[in-house]
Chains A and B, each alone.
Chain A
Amino acid sequence: MWYTWIILDKRTLKIPFASEKHALIAKQTIEVDPELQPHAVKRIITVEENVLIAAFSTLTIRLARLVANAFLENVDLVVRTLEQFGEEAENPPSS
């Protein structure tokens, strides 16, 4: 029996995905690492406008919790990096 859980990240309002570009960066950064248990976890990450959407299906509820936690921690790290360097990236020095 598969437990399906879609995370519609309503906290995008608080997470500064200021643009579709940033949301895409998050998607491309996080999807590189495969799930640690690919036979027990199915993952689909998509982007709609500036919203990052992740859908997980897992074999146990415990796995769903672990996988969601890990994903959100990774999102947090990417968001903080974008926050720190995002502005500088938009303003290349004129030389």
Chain B
Amino acid sequence: MPGKIRKTPLMEAGRDYLALGLEGSANKFGAGIMKHPKDGAATVLSNIRHTYITPPGEGFQPRDTALHHREWALKIINDCLAKAGVSMHEIDCICFTKGPGMGAPLQSVALIARTLSLLFNKPLVGVNHCVGHIEMGREITGAQNPVVLYVSGGNTQVIAYSRQCYRIFGETLDIAVGNCLDRFARIINLSNDPSPGYNIEQEAKKGKRLVSLPYATKGMDVSLSGILSAVEAYTLDKRLHEEGAEDKDLITPQDLCFSLQETVFAMLVEITERAMAHIGSKEVLIVGGVGSNERLQQMMGIMAHERQGQVFATDERFCIDNGIMIAQAGLLSYRMGYETPLAKSTCTQRFRTDEVHVAWRN
């Protein structure tokens, strides 16, 4: 992997390290096993996930999501260990999502993590969900010091690293971009399988008209709830029809998907570009579920290309919430001597990215 020559506080591994990562902050439960060999690059031994998919028009509620995780977790952890070919005894630490996210699902995963920790006498490592995304993106793409655009159903942040802290340069003032897209998908009754965002992306490809929507960047930040209201208002518009015609004044749901994506993605590209200009960076790393949207990657690529830079993105295995990213970030913390004592292994719905001390980078 490139960039291993630079000095980092993280010492050479010295021996093989194995970490189990458990993630369940939203509607996906993921388990992953990460290996840091004594010499060589980090390896993903297994990464298994199951998504709680609700019927079209419905979002996922905390209680039902927690029930889903409780139902699926043990089977997925077992499959994960089997696929990696390791036993729990060989694992060095059990990493779990401490936050941010939904309370009941997070707590369900934490209970399992604590039980395993006590049963096998392994240390616990609580991980920040956002830092997990960033660390996995860095590991997979090899990006040196990118501006990170973290976009998902629950978070929308522009992050840059400085002095052992992932600093938030810009973020959403109200709802996350994935939340905006998902809620619109519910309004127009799109399927939630495999995810509402994916289906919006497919519908948007069939859109032809760009309808006028508010463009709401506020300095380094964005505001999305107004755009959601505006696009929702279009669904009540008399001009809305299932199939439009070129010459008539009709709007289709596909046109709305297209317009929504173009507007919000342009806003995200703008605030990312501001951060890049501010710190003089030439790399953009897109992480989080919305990062798997190819149109966003394309638009970001155009902007980066104009600045002689490049965009790094991962595929849906690592973009969408997963357990391996928790294992990766957790193992990096663990190797720097960080552990979460049992009494402090609670979960929290609010956990800022910049609250984490990034000890493993200099």
Binding site for B on A (CB under 8 A): 25-26, 28-30, 32-34, 73-74, 77-78, 80-82, 84-86, 88-89, 92-93
Contact = CB atoms under 8 A, between A and B. Distances in A.
A28 B118 contact: yes
Contact of A86 (B89, B108, B114, B119): B119
The size bracket of the interface on B is 20 to 34
Contacts of B88: 85, 88-89
Chain A interface mostly: helix
Nearest to A36: B103
Contact of B342 (A32, A73, A86): A32
A92 B89 contact: yes
B89 A25 contact: no
Given A29-B111, A33-B107, A93 B70 contact: no
A89 B112 CA distance: 14
A17 B218 CA distance: 57
Chain B interface mostly: helix
B111 A77 contact: yes
A18 to B, nearest CB: 12
Interface in B320-352: 342-343, 345-346
B87 interface: yes
Interface of B: 70, 74, 78, 87-90, 107-108, 110-112, 114-116, 118-120, 342-343, 345-346
Contacts of A34: 346
A86 B342 CA distance: 19
A82 B346 contact: no
B82 to A, nearest CB: 12
Given A25-B119, A29-B118, A85-B119, A93 B78 contact: no
B87 A88 contact: yes
A34 B116 CA distance: 20
Given A33-B110, A77-B111, A81-B119, 13 more contacts: A26-B115, A29-B111, A29-B114, A29-B118, A30-B111, A32-B342, A78-B111, A78-B115, A81-B74, A85-B115, A86-B119, A88-B88, A93-B89
A32 B118 CA distance: 13
B346 A32 contact: yes
